[in-house]
Amino acid sequence: MYLIDKKNNSISLLPEKSFSELGFVERKHLQEWIAKNPSCLGEELLIIQKEFDGFFDTSERLDLLAIDKLGNLVIIENKLDTSGKDVTWQVIKYASYCASLSKEQICNIYQAYLKKQSIGCTAEEKISEFMDNKEFDDILLNQGSTQRIIMVAGSFRKEVTSAVLWLRSFMLRIQCIKVTPIAHDDNLMLDIEQILPLKDTEEFTISMATKAQDEIATQEGLKARHYLRLEFWTYFLAESNKKNILFANISPSKDNWIGLGIGMSGVNLNLTVTQKYAGVEIYFNRGDKTENEALFDFMHAMQSEIETKYGEPLIWTKMTDKISCRIYSRVEDVDIFNKSDWPKMSAFLVDHSERLANAIKEPIKKLNSYAKNELKLK
């Protein structure tokens, strides 16, 4: 890595350091850096466990276990200044151990991690949020031979890179990522580079194998849920349009939610249906945690005014461990997949969406003014 000197129109090489000479250790430093910011590996990953040792009949433990956006398990093995010569065999063993983990077991592993981190959410909620708020029952985890491996090290021995290239020819999804500390004055930087496969030639292909019977059943169940939700939203919209025009321009969806704008970018009125509840909410998601919390706090100061107009208390949740914030109300003990619950769910959503939209109309105008004049937001 080179430093650009604009004044003298030149570049100078920044000195590379080793982790050991800087006093960094694998578990306390490199592992924590990745766990706190897994996107540094070049994609969105959800870390579900550290130092995982829950394997049958062995005391071995892997460094980090994650889920990718396709629901595949990702085994992340970290080394410091060198990979060593046996790391490939090590991670293959870990991948084989993880291959048999069921969806329920993965949730239990992640729930234990959340508890240890003192994060007050369920594993199902966090996984659903990571998977773009898909209904948890629709999410497929660790299907077939889809386990992935990421090895992170300061350098990779030829024994390792040779083995990785050979394994990739058999469609094993394994990556080598090189990490190099860089020193500049009193600052330390970390250069992260994927060396295998080369990033600009990497092919993300999913080979279609013969599906096991239970996977076919899961897929069929998934399609059935999509059809039922589409049918419910069609039913709801017909009922809603009899009462008001709030959702007149909204189309039915196969997802578990629909939403509409209420006069401010990134702040929406959403309706959600699950196997446990039906709910209405004002959802703050402008892509920036600080912005969301500032807007939420401003709205929270008008709680009494909003709830008086709405006609009953609302639940105000800043969700400090997430980017978004929400204000919501729900009816419990209803199930989207039980058609006998649809009239109750639909009646709640029709009534409460109209009441919430009316209650928020004037506060949204004030919120827009606050965002524009005080926060200087667009």
Residue 197 has pLDDT above 90, yes or no: no
- 276-289: average pLDDT: 93
Averaged pLDDT for residues 136-164: 93
Q: What was the pLDDT predicted at 287? A: 84
Number of other CB atoms surrounding residue 223 within 10 Å: 11
Percent of residues, the chain, with pLDDT higher than 90: 70
Quote the pLDDT of residue 128: 93
Which position has the higher pLDDT, 320 or 200?
320
How many residues are given for the chain?
378
Mean pLDDT, range 238-244, rounded to an integer: 92
Report helix, strand or coil for 341: helix
Give the closest residue to 62 by CA, choosing from 19, 26, 33: 26
Q: Could you report the per-residue pLDDT of 321-367, keeping only the tens digit for each?
A: 788 999 999 999 999 999 999 999 999 999 999 999 999 999 999 99
The pLDDT value recorded for residue 378 is 65
Asked whether residue 85 carries a pLDDT value surpassing 50, the answer given is yes
Q: What is the mean pLDDT of residues 74-82?
A: 95
Q: How many CA atoms lie within 13 A of 41 on its CB side?
A: 32
Q: What is the pLDDT of residue 119?
A: 86
pTM above 0.95? Answer: no
Average pLDDT over residues 56-66: 88
pLDDT of residue 209: 31
Confidence of residue 109 (pLDDT cuts 50, 70, 90): very high
Query: Quick one: pLDDT at residue 55?
Result: 82
Structure confidence at residue 225 (pLDDT): 85
Amino acid at 89: W
Cβ-based burial of 150 (10 A; exposed 0-12, middle 13-18, buried ≥19): buried
Helix, strand, coil share of the chain (percent; to 5) = 40, 25, 35
3-state secondary structure of 268: strand
pLDDT higher than 50, residue 211: no
What's at 125, amino acid-wise?
E
Pairing verdict, β 73-78 and 148-153: parallel
**Residue 219: band (very low, low, confident or very high) from pLDDT cuts 50, 70, 90:** low
pLDDT more than 70, % of the chain: 93
Higher pLDDT, 211 or 223: 223
Phi, psi of 46 (to 5 degrees): -110, 110
The pLDDT of residue 220 is: 62
pLDDT attached to residue 206: 34
Question: Given this model, what pLDDT does residue 151 score?
Answer: 97
Q: What is the pLDDT of residue 208?
A: 33
Q: pLDDT tier at 216 (50, 70, 90 boundaries)? A: low
Give 199's pLDDT tier (boundaries 50, 70, 90). low
Mean pLDDT, range 42-71, rounded to an integer = 91
Instruction: Write down the pLDDT at residue 215.
Output: 62
193 pLDDT above the threshold of 80: yes
Residue 200 has pLDDT above 80, yes or no: no
Q: Indicate the residue type of 161.
A: T
